[in-house]
Chains A and B, each alone.
Chain A
Amino acid sequence: MVISLKQTDTLKKDSVRVEKSTKVRMSTQDKIYNVIAIIVFSVITLICFYPFYYLMICTISDQQLVELNKIYMIPKGINFRNYIEILNVQNLANSAFISVARTLVTTTVSFFCTSYMAYFFTKQQMWGHKFWYRFTVITMYFSAGLIPIYLNNRMLHLNNSFLVYVVPSAISVYNMVLVKTSIESMGTELEESARLDGAGYLTIFFRIILPLQGPILATVSLFTAVNQWNDFFTTKLYITNTKLYTLQYLLYELLSQVTAAANQINNADPYASITPTGIRLTLTAIVVIPIIMVYPFIQRFYVKGIMLGAVKG
């Protein structure tokens, strides 16, 4: 054991040495390529990154300077008045609560429902398994369309209810197929031994399947969470009660008001000490910051996800 470990160690060292030596042997052409590529990709990265950076520095800078577009690289006159003032925006705290609540509740519900369905669909001996699986999977390839779905959800009395955020997203067929493929790749030995010990399906599902499917379930759940956080159309379509607005929708409304107000010159400023631009930017920042904090984790899981997705359901 020790020897083999040592061997791999030396192997690693060798490979490092090889890498180093190739680096030394890098031709001038390669060097030129590297320099050009690094410049080009740095510019691309900057183009992707700068709007977010600009947004952030604007929210913490002196608003007069922001209005005059004097801010480019470094925040000037740093203060956090925007973030304090924005609390006065009508309905903000409530919308934030709804946004967080719908994200957490829907992700949790979807986590259990989707993996539950996936687990039982791995059971080939189910009555009519082939038919019911097709019955489910085929729904990925057609859609009744916006209006029929809307009318259907209205008929189910989901409009103007918090449930419209949760129930229609409880099971994602696509995610179900991903999780099912992942469960199948796990093998059946563990489950069989648990069955011999007298565990029922639900015990196996909660005690064995869920804990062992951590990575794929985390990926799927993070995707659901981001989708839930980002969605504003559901609110636009089904919700008229302002108590159920989400942050995204609040921002959407604010933005369309700004566009509408752009044509009217004399627009009384409703937020005394700060500008409407400041409010808009700060609200955007508040909505974006959670995403910036979680997305690197999702990205890490994603490659695993596509590998699984490549296996057809």
Chain B
Amino acid sequence: MKKIRLSEPVKLFLYVLPALIYIFIFKYLPLWGWAISFFQYKPGLPLFKCNFVGLQNYIQLFGNAVMRTNLIRVLKNTFGIQILNFLFMPVPMLFAIFLSEVASKRFQKLVQTVTTLPHFISWVIMFSLATCMFGSTGLVNTTLQNVGICKSINVLNTNNNVWLIQALLALWKSMGWNAIIYFAAITGLDQSVYEAAMVDGASRMQKIRYITIPLLLPTFFVLLIMSIGNFLNSGIDQFLAFGNALNKDTIEVLDLYVYNLGIKNGQISFSVAVGVMKSLVAMVLFAAANFFSKKVRGTSVF
């Protein structure tokens, strides 16, 4: 048998080919599922045996009154929670700035280590801890009753303030972690600027206000732009863990809605239609974020 000699480039390609096939199967192949949104899909039937309905599913989403109200409600929830998340975005930056001004390095390290812990736990654990603290028989409520304020606060099983509560939980979970990026940026800042300011008699607050914050703004903007690109991807774990019958009207975000519609109610065609629209909007947002980043900073984020 004659041994075939492959050229080096082809050989390298063959080495990486299995990985490329993997990428194709798990990242590109699912795109085929978008076609389902043009059919009346019935689970179990092959797609070509289902009724082709064209854009009817999409029209229904907006035309059907129930569907429309649901979609609007879900979008409102997504926007509400995400906008609150945006408003909290400067918190990790301020956290890092003020902490880095503390004289003791050991204290800084301790605070950093402890505050990053919540980032590493799952939303199920978050829910368990929250029940511990804020549940109807949780620590906070019993303490309030024991102290005599007597009014128990209902945090987890109500439609009131759900957006704020979820945003605050997310802040608690991610603040220490997100601050790490700013810490890294602060340590990288040019110290001579600070020395010059000190010579000029700048106070600590002035140094923060006129040096540190402006120098950190580019980092802040990168993160902001990235989260604009991810605006609709609010994730599902958090809302799945915290959602229940009593708060489902205000906690159901787009991702959770797609899940509930498709997997729970079995309306696959509709949920794929919602998903497709979400993906398209997300892509537009990505492009827009990239465009702004180019305008503002001269380089693209993605």
On A, residues with C-beta under 8 Å from B are 23, 26, 29-30, 33-34, 37-38, 40-42, 44-45, 47-49, 51-52, 54-55, 58, 67, 69, 72, 113, 116-117, 120-121, 123, 125-128, 132, 135-136, 139-152, 156, 167-168, 170-171, 173, 201, 226, 229-233, 236-237, 248, 251-252, 255-256, 258-259, 262, 277, 280-281, 284, 287-288, 291-292, 295-296, 298-299, 302-303, 306-307, 312
Contact = CB atoms under 8 A, between A and B. Distances in A.
Contacts of A128: 13
B240 A233 contact: yes
Nearest to A70: B142
A298 B117 CA distance: 11
Interface stretch (B24-32, B48-56, B67-75, B82-90): B24-32
A252 B241 contact: yes
B159 interface: no
B243 to A, nearest CB: 9
**SS class, residues of chain A in contact with chain B:** helix
A140 B286 CA distance: 11
A33 B98 CA distance: 10
Interface in B246-302: 255, 258-259, 262-263, 268, 271-272, 275-276, 278-279, 282-283, 286, 300, 302
A116 B20 CA distance: 12
Determine the interface band of chain B, counting residues with CB < 8 A from chain A.
35 or more
B9 interface: yes
Interface string B194-228: 00000000011000000000000000000000000
Contact of B139 (A54, A144, A148, A230): A54
A259 to B, nearest CB: 5
Contact of A255 (B29, B131, B302): B131
Given A51-B129, A132-B13, A255-B127, 5 more contacts: A34-B103, A37-B101, A126-B16, A148-B31, A230-B125
26 contacts: A23-B103, A26-B103, A40-B98, A48-B115, A48-B118, A48-B172, A51-B129, A120-B15, A126-B16, A141-B302, A144-B27, A144-B33, A145-B279, A146-B259, A147-B275, A148-B31, A150-B262, A232-B122, A262-B136, A287-B124, A292-B117, A296-B113, A299-B180, A303-B180, A306-B181, A307-B184
Interface of B: 8-10, 12-13, 15-16, 19-20, 22-23, 25-34, 36, 95, 98-99, 101-104, 107, 110-118, 120-122, 124-125, 127-129, 131-133, 136-139, 142-143, 146, 157, 172, 176, 180-181, 183-184, 203-204, 236-237, 240-241, 244, 255, 258-259, 262-263, 268, 271-272, 275-276, 278-279, 282-283, 286, 300, 302
Contacts of B259: 146
A45 B111 contact: yes
A258 B113 CA distance: 32
A30 B180 contact: no
B31 A147 contact: no
A175 to B, nearest CB: 13
A142 B302 CA distance: 12
A295 B116 contact: yes
B132 A132 contact: no
B34 A127 contact: no
A259 B237 CA distance: 17
A298 B13 contact: no
**SS class, residues of chain B in contact with chain A:** helix
Given A48-B117, A151-B33, A127 B181 contact: no
Contacts of A23: 103
A45 B115 contact: yes
Contact of A306 (B132, B180, B236, B282): B180
Contacts of A49: 114, 117
Nearest to B279: A145
Contacts of B114: 45, 48-49
Contacts of B237: 232-233
Contact of A127 (B13, B117, B240, B278): B13
B125 A284 contact: yes
Contacts of B181: 306
Nearest to B13: A127
A105 to B, nearest CB: 17
A127 B12 contact: yes
